[in-house]
Amino acid sequence: MNPGGQVLKQLHCSDAIQGSLACEMVEELGGVEYADRCGTRDSDKEKQMDVSKDIVWHQHSVDREQRERQLGQQGCVIWFTGLSGCGKSTIANALDAMLVSEGRATTLLDGDNVRHGLCAPPAVLEPEHGAEFAERFGLGFGAVDREENIRRIGNVAALMASAGLITLTAFVSPYRRDRDRVRKIVAQAGRASDFVEVFVDTPLEVCEARDPKGLYKKARAGEIKHFTGISDPYESPESPEIRLDGGAGESVEAMAGQVREWLVGKGVF
Ligand SMILES: Nc1ncnc2c1ncn2[C@@H]1O[C@H](COP(=O)(O)OS(=O)(=O)O)[C@@H](OP(=O)(O)O)[C@H]1O
Ligand SMILES: Nc1ncnc2c1ncn2[C@@H]1O[C@H](COP(=O)(O)OP(=O)(O)O)[C@@H](O)[C@H]1O
């Protein structure tokens, strides 16, 4: 990677972050906010820029194929996306239970849960790590924070798929670019077909009527900023592998079954 070159100038911010660039280099790419939050801040910037050259990929003796053979399935990422309240968690949870009852090895990453740990907000980090750390690494719901949230989850999901697990994820993941980046990460870790985008397409009115956590009410009252569908955008997938019509009165079991059938059809197990 040539950090000063034209090639980098064309990169997106988070691609540059993966290359361990210093704040100024990332800023140069146009991502000032992301750079300030996530770029390296060490005084010895020269050394920081060279760090990537000192990291060498380690080839393990147990490879992915061996793990998959042992489990009798292909690792993959089933990525549920949609508005808050569309049914992502409920359907992913039903599918998870269905697959586990059949002896499949799975895992389920859910937005609300992951935001309690790996992607915790600043207020959760501050008591243990201090204000500066919390401000730098804690995540909220602005576009850059969602980008980092999905980047972290995408990498974790790819690692889990590499371990042979059927990895179910339920995140709003409202931005197409962020989802497409995860698709790329997952494909690079395995096969192009390993990323399965499932769009839970439930009309906003239905989600808002459900409002199980009272968040839409708060968003309408202006108590929550950047609320997807109300004061923040949701970019629908253009060509998801699977589209579930979450507002048509179909049962959760039927929709989970639809995803299961798709996996069977693709030979995942
Ligand atoms: N501003 C705003 N916008 C959307 N959602 C919000 C917001 N604030 C809190 N919540 C709650 O957080 C859950 C979404 O977290 P995610 O990590 O999935 O979001 S994202 O993928 O980074 O967009 C989401 O969970 P689900 O309702 O299960 O989708 C909400 O309960
Ligand atoms: N197909 C469905 N039909 C009726 N209610 C549903 C359906 N799917 C989900 N629900 C209900 O809608 C609410 C939101 O579902 P949830 O899975 O939490 O959505 P999300 O994870 O997308 O925020 C829950 O109360 C759930 O029971």
Query: Which two structure tokens, joined as six digits, stand for 65?
Result: 């194929």
Tell me the pLDDT band of 53, cut-offs 50, 70 and 90: confident
215: which residues sit within 8 A by CB, 6+ positions away? Answer: 84, 85, 224, 227
The pLDDT, as a whole number, for residue 30 is 41
Cβ-count burial 198-208 (b if 16+ within 10 Å, e if not):
bbbbbebebbb
Atom of ligand 2 nearest to the CA of 93: 17
Residue nearest to atom 1 of ligand 1 (CA): 227
43 is known as an active-site residue: no
Average pLDDT over residues 244-265: 97
CA of 51 to the centre of ligand 2 (A): 45
pLDDT tens per residue across span 150-179: 999 999 999 999 999 999 999 999 999 999
Ligand 1 pocket at CB < 6 A: 84-85, 88-89, 111-112, 115, 141, 146, 149-150, 171-174, 213, 215, 224, 226-228
pLDDT tens per residue across span 128-137: 999 999 999 9
Q: Burial level of 67, CB count in 10 A (0-12/13-18/19+)?
A: middle
Tell me the pLDDT band of 52, cut-offs 50, 70 and 90: confident
pLDDT tens per residue across span 11-42: 333 333 333 333 444 444 446 566 556 555 55
Q: Alpha helices of 13-116 — where are they, by DSSP H?
A: 13-18, 23-28, 32-38, 45-50, 64-71, 88-101, 111-114
Q: Is the CB of 85 under 6 A from ligand 2?
A: yes
SS3 195: strand
The pLDDT, as a whole number, for residue 2 is 30
Residue 62 has pLDDT above 80, yes or no: yes
CA of 230 to the centre of ligand 1 (A): 12
ipTM: 0.99
CB atoms within 10 A of CB 41: 13
199 vs 10 pLDDT, higher one: 199
